């Protein structure tokens, strides 16, 4: 009886551990952290934690659809909480000078129409099943321009 409950609750027997909870908490406060940045943050709460655990759990959370993983111009991967509500759907402006990342959610409505049409045509034409899309703008942010 409990067994079924448990199984039901978390699909394939994973455990909701402290490192996982901590990571998610951190990403509710700050976005676009890389693995090492996230590692620093968790360490403040739990100094015992190892890097490997952070990497493993960033993978874990990404696979489970809790985090999004991005690779902007940088070598290192960056993460953010997945936006479950459509209202939060957004894309990114990336500053090529300082690396700053800005979210924007303007145009989501207009974009959605186009994206839907594209997904339809592309899947028909290329037999490609589209799961997600990323629209990135690269350029120079205000601060860097002012300098």
Residue ranges binding DNA (CB under 7 A) = 2-3, 5-7, 13-20, 34-36, 46, 48-53, 55-57, 59, 75-77
Instruction: Count CB atoms within 10 A of the CB of residue 26.
Output: 21
Asked whether the beta carbons of 31 and 103 are under 8 A apart, the reply is yes
The reply to whether 65 sits near its own copies by the rule CB under 8 A is no
With CB under 8 A as the rule, give the number of residues binding its own copies: 41
> Which two structure tokens, joined as six digits, stand for 135?
């629209």
The reply to whether 112 sits near its own copies by the rule CB under 8 A is no
At a CB cut-off of 8 Å and minimum separation 6, what does 28 contact?
Answer: 81
Nearer Cβ to DNA (3/113) = 3
The reply to whether 109 sits near its own copies by the rule CB under 8 A is no
From candidates 31, 37, 59, 111, binder to its own copies by CB under 8 A: 111
Asked whether the beta carbons of 110 and 63 are under 8 A apart, the reply is no
End-to-end CA, the chain? 65
Ranges within 115-134 binding its own copies (CB under 8 A): 117-119, 121-123, 125-134
At a CB cut-off of 8 Å and minimum separation 6, what does 110 contact?
Answer: none
Given the rule CB under 8 A, which residues bind its own copies?
Answer: 69, 71-75, 93, 95-96, 102, 104, 106-107, 110-111, 114, 117-119, 121-123, 125-142, 145
């Amino acid at each position: 009886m409990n067994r079924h409950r448990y199984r039901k609750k978390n699909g394939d027997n994973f455990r909701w551990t402290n490192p996982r909870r901590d990571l998610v908490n951190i990403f509710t406060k700050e976005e676009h952290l890389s693995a090492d940045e996230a590692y620093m943050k968790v360490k403040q709460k739990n100094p015992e934690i190892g890097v490997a655990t952070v990497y493993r759990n960033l993978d874990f959370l990404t696979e489970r659809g809790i985090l999004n993983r991005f690779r902007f111009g940088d070598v290192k991967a960056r993460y953010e909480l997945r936006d479950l509500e459509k209202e939060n759907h957004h894309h990114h402006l990336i500053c090529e000078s300082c690396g700053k990342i800005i979210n924007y959610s303007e145009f989501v409505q207009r974009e959605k129409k186009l994206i839907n049409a594209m997904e339809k045509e592309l899947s028909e034409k290329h037999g490609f099943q589209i799961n997600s899309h990323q629209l990135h703008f690269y350029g120079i942010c205000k601060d860097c321009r002012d300098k």
